[in-house]
């Protein structure tokens, strides 16, 4: 029986079996941010423990940073306190920190890949559920809570049990206007938000083979929305091409590639489960979790959850196409990379944001923003009426000033349509691809982007 990438990476990092029967797993890269780490550093101080491997730890700020005026001190005193805490903690513990003004700050799941920190075969943990993003490189990457951040800081390790493995294949070429976001939303719809509990997802097949790294990241990013704590794609030439030249990418690249090739899942691997998904169209959520989504040509199902519909103020049997929107948000760790912005700008070019719609384009990192400006994308967005913002999590989770108001409906490229997620307790989120959100901004309603390309 062949070994999967998960098997190989797990074995390589397994330190010992603990008394509980859980494995002690070494963590090769520990990413931290301002919201879930300060409490962990306090726990270390309380126990008089030190950071064991500061050189394996990298910090940035993303969740609470305003995306308009980033001058310090922040107006929000609580946010300012959290900024100070991560600055002090990283300094005191000699941890590399990409803060505001460093030019390398941004959403943690955007900057680690773009700097070449994220590499195949690593174990990567971060106090954020969307750490699954890094699986796009063939890393075993997953979100952890604050007590576990404390554990990684103090010991370089985590106590975990190895998940089961499900292979999800998508082979049929995607139509024009159908994107990575649609693929992962469709996977979550078919397998459900609980389907991945206890599993890691391995995405395989021609569609993923042909995807760019950025598209792969969009898919792996939302593994957790399907209940799978981690999701990965076997590394290949596309991965290596992306990594080449990255600031922290290996200098002995040839040797690295040999190693990376050796960790790929073998052909005769047996999976605990397999799923196949084909015939995907642009997807839009109609409810309050990411499995509650439909193709743009479909109607809200007759068996749709009543609570979800009463929150959304939608009815069974209604089409999602034509739903009016108030806000459009292009950003988040799911969809704020340069290719996402290019795709959105392509749609927006020559069009105007619909009257009464508030539209935000938020680059995922300082470097993405700079690149977009080099390409003139900022001008396209601004000319059409979009606000062009600085890097941060922005309106994905509303821990910063970017929020919905009242029961506004937002066409959003983020990852969660939970009740209240975008900052208003009654706010409504429709998840979709960047191209779909961009055209919705211009039309003032949900439309089928395929009719505009």
Which residues, numbered 254-293, are part of the site for other proteins (CB under 8 A)? 255-256, 259, 289
Tokens of 351: 């069009």
Cβ closest to other proteins, residue 354 vs residue 421 = 421
- If one asks whether residue 240 binds other proteins (CB under 8 A), the answer comes out as no
Cβ closest to other proteins, residue 339 vs residue 413 = 413
Cβ closest to other proteins, residue 106 vs residue 290 = 290
- If one asks whether residue 405 binds other proteins (CB under 8 A), the answer comes out as no
Binding-residue total with other proteins (CB under 8 A):
77
- If one asks whether residue 119 binds other proteins (CB under 8 A), the answer comes out as yes
- If one asks whether residue 399 binds other proteins (CB under 8 A), the answer comes out as yes
Count of all residues that appear for the chain in the document: 453
Tokens of 436: 């779909």
Cα 298 versus chain centre, distance:
26
Q: How far apart are CA 109 and CA 120, in angstroms?
A: 15
- If one asks whether residue 397 binds other proteins (CB under 8 A), the answer comes out as yes
Residues in 361-390 that interact with other proteins by CB under 8 A: none
Strands 140-143 vs 123-126: parallel, antiparallel or unpaired: parallel
Cβ closest to other proteins, residue 14 vs residue 299 = 14
Q: CB of 308: closest distance to other proteins in angstroms?
A: 9
Question: Among 66, 127, 135, 235, which residue interacts with other proteins (rule: CB under 8 A)?
Answer: 127
- Torsion region of 320: left, alpha or beta (phi above 0 gives left; psi -120 to 50 gives alpha): alpha
Residues in 296-355 that interact with other proteins by CB under 8 A: 307
Question: Among 60, 105, 148, 234, which residue interacts with other proteins (rule: CB under 8 A)?
Answer: 148
Tokens of 126: 């971060």
Residues in 10-29 that interact with other proteins by CB under 8 A: 12-16, 18-22, 24, 26, 28
Tell which residue, 278, 284, 295, 296, has the closest CA to residue 174: 278
- If one asks whether residue 434 binds other proteins (CB under 8 A), the answer comes out as no
- If one asks whether residue 38 binds other proteins (CB under 8 A), the answer comes out as yes
Q: CB of 114: closest distance to other proteins in angstroms?
A: 18
Residues in 176-195 that interact with other proteins by CB under 8 A: 193-194
Residues in 208-227 that interact with other proteins by CB under 8 A: 224, 227
User: Strands across the sheet with 140-143, in order?
Assistant: 96-98, 57-60, 29-32, 123-126, 140-143
- Give every CB contact of residue 116 below 8 A, 6+ residues apart in sequence: 243, 245, 246, 247, 248, 249
Question: Among 1, 71, 245, 252, which residue interacts with other proteins (rule: CB under 8 A)?
Answer: 252
207 touches 106 (CB < 8 A)? no
Tell which residue, 228, 221, 210, 222, has the closest CA to residue 171: 210
Q: How far apart are CA 139 and CA 186, in angstroms?
A: 23
What φ, ψ does residue 4 adopt, rounded to 5°? -90, 170
- If one asks whether residue 48 binds other proteins (CB under 8 A), the answer comes out as no
Q: CB of 22: closest distance to other proteins in angstroms?
A: 4
- If one asks whether residue 109 binds other proteins (CB under 8 A), the answer comes out as no
Tell which residue, 369, 409, 408, 402, has the closest CA to residue 388: 369
| Beta-bridge partner residues of 433 | none
Among the candidate windows 155-163, 204-212, 341-349, 443-451, which touches other proteins by CB under 8 A?
A: 155-163
Tokens of 437: 């959100």
Among the candidate windows 166-174, 236-244, 365-373, 395-403, which touches other proteins by CB under 8 A?
A: 395-403
The 8-class DSSP code of residue 224 comes to G
Cβ closest to other proteins, residue 46 vs residue 302 = 46
Q: CB of 278: closest distance to other proteins in angstroms?
A: 26
The 8-class DSSP code of residue 2 comes to B
């Amino acid at each position: 029986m062949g070994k999967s990438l998960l098997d190989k990476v797990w074995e390589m990092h397994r330190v010992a079996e603990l008394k509980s029967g859980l494995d002690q797993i070494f963590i090769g890269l520990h990413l931290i941010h301002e919201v879930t780490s300060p409490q962990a550093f306090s726990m270390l101080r309380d126990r008089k423990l030190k950071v064991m491997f500061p050189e394996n730890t990298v910090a940035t700020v993303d969740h609470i940073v305003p995306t308009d005026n980033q001058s310090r001190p922040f107006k929000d005193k609580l946010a300012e306190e959290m900024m100070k805490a991560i600055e002090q903690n990283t300094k005191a513990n000699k941890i590399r920190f990409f803060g505001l003004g460093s030019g390398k700050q941004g959403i943690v799941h955007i900057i680690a890949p773009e700097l070449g920190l994220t590499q195949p075969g690593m174990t990567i943990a971060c106090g954020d559920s969307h750490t699954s993003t890094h699986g796009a490189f063939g890393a075993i990457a997953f979100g952890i809570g604050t007590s576990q951040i404390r554990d990684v800081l103090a010991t370089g390790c985590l106590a975990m049990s190895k998940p089961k493995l499900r292979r999800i294949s998508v082979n049929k070429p995607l139509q024009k206007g159908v994107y990575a976001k649609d693929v992962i939303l469709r996977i979550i719809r078919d397998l459900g938000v609980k389907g991945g509990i206890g599993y890691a997802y391995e995405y395989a097949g021609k569609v993923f083979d042909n995807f760019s790294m950025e598209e792969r990241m969009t898919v792996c990013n939302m593994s957790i929305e399907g209940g799978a704590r981690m999701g990965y794609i076997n590394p290949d030439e596309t991965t290596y091409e992306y990594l080449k030249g990255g600031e922290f990418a290996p200098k002995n690249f040839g040797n690295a590639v040999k190693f990376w090739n050796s960790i790929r899942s073998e052909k005769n691997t047996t999976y605990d489960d397999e799923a196949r998904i084909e015939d995907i169209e642009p997807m839009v959520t109609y409810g309050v979790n990411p499995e509650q989504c439909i193709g743009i040509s479909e109607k809200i199902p007759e068996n749709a959850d009543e609570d979800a519909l009463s929150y959304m103020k939608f009815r069974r049997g209604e089409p999602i196409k034509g739903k009016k929107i108030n806000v459009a948000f292009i950003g988040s760790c799911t969809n704020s990379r340069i290719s996402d912005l290019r795709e959105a700008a392509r749609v927006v070019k020559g069009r105007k944001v619909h009257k009464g719609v508030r539209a935000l384009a938020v680059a995922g990192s300082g470097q993405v923003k700079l690149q977009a400006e080099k390409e003139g994308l900022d001008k396209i967005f601004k000319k059409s009426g979009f606000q062009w913002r600085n890097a941060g999590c922005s309106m994905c989770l509303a821990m910063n000033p970017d929020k919905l108001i009242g029961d506004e409906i937002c066409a959003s490229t983020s990852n969660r349509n939970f009740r209240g997620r975008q900052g208003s307790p009654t706010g409504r989120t429709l998840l979709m691809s960047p191209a779909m959100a961009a055209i919705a901004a211009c039309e003032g309603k949900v439309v089928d982007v395929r009719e505009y390309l």
